[in-house]
């Protein structure tokens, strides 16, 4: 079996590839893993160094908008796990065109190739941000989509295209929607790696608004394990929420990171809130727990401690990224 992993040099995609090639996923024990990544600012070949010598690994640098390249790769693969996306909300606010092109048109390019070549499985990796913001309770998979940023709107669009290709053309699509990820190899623009690396260097960190926006935190290992459950046993045409089960305000997260790095609140600058900043995210992931036996394995405290230590130990990975 050959599996095409798009965005496989990014934070979450590279975790999935490393796990797949290290024997952590029995269903992929003998699979050939074909990575397609554009190597934008957030894609990094160093993320794949631990498995680069595997005889089951192939890397192609390229864009999911390149229809000829996508067709060539999909034609040789049995399944697709689609991570590739523009994913930073702040960047989408300053310029949304790349988000629409990559996330919507790029996903369509992949789906159309999958239709033509009859792939066995297509897992489309999305986000809980497509639901918008929720004051109380949690979103089930059938909740309406109310995205508030250009990023989340583009992901909602890609979800709808993916599900339409299942209904119209029978492409065996499953969609996953995850909560906020954290862990090693995350590009230092997202809150945890940005704050950790700043604090390690004795620099201040910017906290939006009153710091009371709530997010559910999911370790990247647990997220990728859930994606693998969906790839290997999920129902086509279905959506699966993936949560970490630990909701915290941004202020609480900041407190954890200050403690972990030996800093105090003097290092925190409260800054003007982000435009259309969603107040709270919370997914109901009872469906994937009941159907596929998913349960997060990492406690937040242990996972965060390991993550902070990874950034302490891997300055050679993140310092060049922050120097750009």
pLDDT digits (tens, 9 = 90+) for 12-64: 999 999 999 999 999 999 999 999 999 998 999 999 999 999 999 999 999 99
Token code pair at residue 51: 């498995």
Q: Tell me, rounded to whole angstroms, the distance of Cα 280 from its chain centroid.
A: 18
Domains of the chain and any CATH numbers? 2-181+217-242 (3.40.50.720), 187-215+246-275+299-323 (3.90.25.10)
pLDDT at site 170: 98
The predicted pLDDT at position 55 comes to: 97
Residues 18 and 50: beta-carbon distance below 8 Å: yes
Length of the chain: 324
Are 283 and 246 spatial neighbours (Cβ–Cβ below 8 Å)?
A: no
pLDDT tens digits, residue range 198-237? 999 999 999 999 999 999 999 999 999 999 999 999 999 9
- The closest alpha carbon to 219, from 266, 264, 182, belongs to 182
Q: State pLDDT tens for residues 160-183.
A: 999 999 999 999 999 999 999 999
Active-site amino acid positions? 128-129, 151
CA distances from 204 to 63, 192, 195, 253, 271 (A): 36, 13, 8, 15, 12
Q: How does the average pLDDT of the chain come out, rounded?
A: 96
- Asked if pLDDT for residue 312 goes beyond 80, the answer is yes
């Amino acid at each position: 079996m050959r599996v095409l992993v798009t965005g496989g040099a990014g934070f979450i995609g590279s975790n999935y590839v490393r796990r797949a090639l290290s024997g952590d996923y029995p269903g992929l024990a003998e699979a050939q893993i074909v990575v397609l990544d554009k190597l934008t600012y957030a894609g990094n070949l160093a993320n794949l160094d631990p498995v680069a010598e595997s005889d089951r690994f192939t890397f192609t640098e390229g864009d999911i908008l390149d229809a000829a390249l996508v067709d060539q790769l999909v034609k040789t693969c049995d399944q697709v796990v689609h991570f590739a996306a523009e994913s930073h909300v702040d960047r989408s606010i300053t310029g949304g065109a790349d988000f629409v092109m990559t996330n919507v048109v790029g996903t369509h390019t992949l789906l159309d190739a999958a239709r033509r070549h009859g792939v066995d499985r297509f897992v489309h990796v999305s986000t809980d941000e497509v639901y918008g913001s929720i004051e109380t309770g949690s979103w089930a998979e059938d909740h309406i989509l109310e995205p508030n940023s250009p990023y989340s709107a583009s992901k909602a669009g890609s979800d709808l295209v993916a599900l339409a290709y299942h209904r119209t053309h029978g492409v065996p699509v499953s969609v996953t929607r995850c909560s906020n990820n954290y862990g090693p190899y995350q590009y230092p623009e997202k809150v945890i790696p940005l704050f950790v690396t700043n604090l390690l260097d004795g620099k201040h960190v910017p906290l939006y608004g009153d710091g009371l926006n709530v997010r559910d935190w999911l370790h990247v290992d647990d997220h990728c394990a859930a994606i693998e459950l969906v790839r290997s046993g999920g129902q086509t045409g279905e959506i699966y929420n993936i949560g970490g089960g630990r909701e915290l305000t941004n202020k609480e997260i900041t407190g954890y990171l200050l403690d972990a790095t030996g800093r105090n609140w003097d290092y925190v600058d409260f800054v003007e809130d982000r435009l259309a900043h969603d107040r709270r995210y919370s997914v109901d992931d009872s469906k994937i727990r009941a159907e596929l036996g998913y349960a997060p394995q990492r406690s937040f405290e242990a996972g965060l401690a390991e993550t902070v230590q990874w950034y302490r130990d891997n300055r050679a990975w993140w310092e060049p990224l922050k120097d750009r």
